[in-house]
Amino acid sequence: MKFIELALKRQSTRKYSNKPVEEEAIERCIKAARIAPSACNAQPWKYIIVKDPVIKEKVAKATFGTIASFNKFTLESPVIAVIVIEKPNFMSRFGATVKDIDYHLIDIGITATHFCLQATEEGMATCMMGWFNEKEIHKILNIPKNLKIGLLISLGYEEEGYKQRMKIRKEENKVLSFDSY
Ligand SMILES: Cc1cc2nc3c(=O)[nH]c(=O)nc-3n(C[C@H](O)[C@H](O)[C@H](O)COP(=O)(O)O)c2cc1C
């Protein structure tokens, strides 16, 4: 698949079938995620792959509540990847302080994208999630209190008949200019 086709194919999937995900496919997603670039090569991430059904259900339930119920689809996805933000190396932290930019958050976005695109290439479906009960997930997965969770990614196969959506994006002239703002 050409890269542009892959990028177009990846979409946030919110309806999953109960088809299980193969271990090897997850490993390839992690392989792609692991080689992502990061500021000062700090690689400030650790992936926790949650696939035990009991633990996965607990994590899924921590992604929605009574008011914000939009992540309920996580109950269906067979796997949830939890990206923990590890302490970046000294150079990355130094650069972040000087430049006042949270490089580690950029790094998390890039590694998560690698993960999702590899999953897409495998014919699987994903959805990145930034909305979850962090405290609860810390408890469920024994994550040290001083580490933040960057993103969650649901992983599985789309429910049969789930449609490829049109990409709703800003016009090109709104997100691009040449040689000057
Ligand atoms: C950092 C981040 C956080 C997101 N959080 C959520 C979320 O909590 N729940 C959800 O359903 N989608 C979430 N999304 C998915 C976006 O809504 C989605 O990427 C966007 O609408 C574009 O649609 P597409 O991914 O299908 O192309 C998140 C995406 C990103 C990058």
Q: What local confidence, expressed as pLDDT, does residue 142 receive?
A: 98
CA of 149 to the centre of ligand 1 (A): 16
In a domain, 168, yes or no: no
Q: What local confidence, expressed as pLDDT, does residue 66 receive?
A: 84
In a domain, 22, yes or no: yes
CA of 13 to the centre of ligand 1 (A): 9
CA–CA gap between residue 178 and residue 55 (Å, rounded): 49
CATH of the domain at 143: 3.40.109.10
Torsion of CA 141, 142, 143, 145, to 10 degrees: 130
- What is the position in ligand 1's atom list of the atom closest to the CA of 131? 8
In a domain, 167, yes or no: no
Give the residues surrounding ligand 1 with Cβ less than 6 Å away: 11-12, 14, 70-71, 127-131, 151, 167
In a domain, 50, yes or no: yes
Give me the count of residues in the chain: 181
Q: What local confidence, expressed as pLDDT, does residue 9 receive?
A: 97
**pLDDT digits 0-9 by tens, 109-147:** 999 999 999 999 999 999 999 999 999 999 999 999 999
For residue 131, with 0-12 CB atoms within 10 Å meaning exposed, 13-18 middle and 19 or more buried, which class applies?
A: exposed
CA–CA gap between residue 14 and residue 3 (Å, rounded): 23
Domain that holds residue 40: 17-160
In a domain, 174, yes or no: no
User: 89 is written with which tokens?
Assistant: 């190396």
In a domain, 165, yes or no: no
Nearest to 70 by CA among 138, 12, 150: 12
In a domain, 3, yes or no: no
- Contact yes or no for 38/101 (Cβ under 8 A): no
**pLDDT digits 0-9 by tens, 160-172:** 998 899 999 999 9
Q: How many domains is the chain built from?
A: 1
Q: What local confidence, expressed as pLDDT, does residue 69 receive?
A: 87
**pLDDT digits 0-9 by tens, 19-58:** 999 999 999 999 999 999 999 999 999 999 999 999 999 9
Angle at 42 between CA 10 and CA 139, to 5 degrees: 75
Q: What local confidence, expressed as pLDDT, does residue 181 receive?
A: 95
- What is the position in ligand 1's atom list of the atom closest to the CA of 165? 26
**pLDDT digits 0-9 by tens, 78-112:** 999 999 999 989 999 999 999 999 999 999 999 99
At 71, is the pLDDT very low, low, confident or very high (cuts 50, 70, 90)?
very high
At 68, is the pLDDT very low, low, confident or very high (cuts 50, 70, 90)?
confident
Q: Is the pLDDT of residue 158 over 90?
A: yes
User: 82 is written with which tokens?
Assistant: 């939890």
CA–CA gap between residue 55 and residue 69 (Å, rounded): 19
Question: Which strand ranges, in their side-by-side order, compose the sheet holding 125-129?
Answer: 45-50, 79-85, 148-156, 125-129
In a domain, 109, yes or no: yes
